[in-house]
Homo-oligomer: A and B are copies of this chain.
Amino acid sequence: MAKPPKQNSPITEHLAYLLAQANREINRQLELRLSKEGVPVEQWRILKVLSDGNGHSMGELADAVLLNHPTLTKIIDRMVSDTLVYRVQDPNDRRKVLMFISDRGKVLCKKLNSLAVDQEEHILESYGDKSTSELKRLLESLIDSSN
């Protein structure tokens, strides 16, 4: 029993394609909701990570929000202008810059969280509780196995 020949399988059967398609769709929906507050998805992620109140270095933050360093630097520049976050040089390692969320950032983050939760609930309704948690489990395990 040989495996089916994949060489000519349509692109819609490739895992990489399905992931891209699903990500695109879900991301678009989230974008749409967050646009109510005029905030791009990346900025929400940043605020969310910083909302634990601790300082996070740029490198740490870049990993957490799935951006590479230069891109993050420039987004942070904008967010500093908007007084959503601020930089503090790490006293223990002065190469590092620690990022903190501002009070204004916290307020905005709360609003964004509830918009994001709205979306998750909407998915839960149309897609189902069970499928959703199963999908999350499989995605986590895929990410784990990819390192």
Majority DSSP secondary structure for residues of A touching B: helix
Q: How large is the interface on A (under 10, 10 to 19, 20 to 34, 35 or more residues)?
A: 35 or more
CB of B126 within 8 A of CB of A145, answer yes
Known: A7-B114, A117-B7. A45 touches B17 (CB 8 A): yes
| Among listed A20-28, A70-78, A81-89, A93-101, interface-contacting one | A20-28
Cβ contacts under 8 Å, A146 to chain B: 25-26, 29, 126-127
Interface residues of A (CB under 8 A from B): 6-8, 10-11, 13-27, 29-30, 41, 45, 48-49, 64, 66, 110, 113-114, 116-117, 119-121, 123, 126-127, 131-132, 134-136, 138-143, 145-146
Number of copies: 2
CB nearest neighbor in B for A46: B11
Give the complex CA separation of A41 and B116 in angstroms. 30
CB of B20 within 8 A of CB of A143, answer no
CB of A66 within 8 A of CB of B21, answer yes
CB of A27 within 8 A of CB of B19, answer yes
CB of B135 within 8 A of CB of A15, answer yes
How far does the Cβ of A17 sit from chain B's closest Cβ, in whole Å? 7
Known: A16-B26, A123-B15. A131 touches B139 (CB 8 A): no
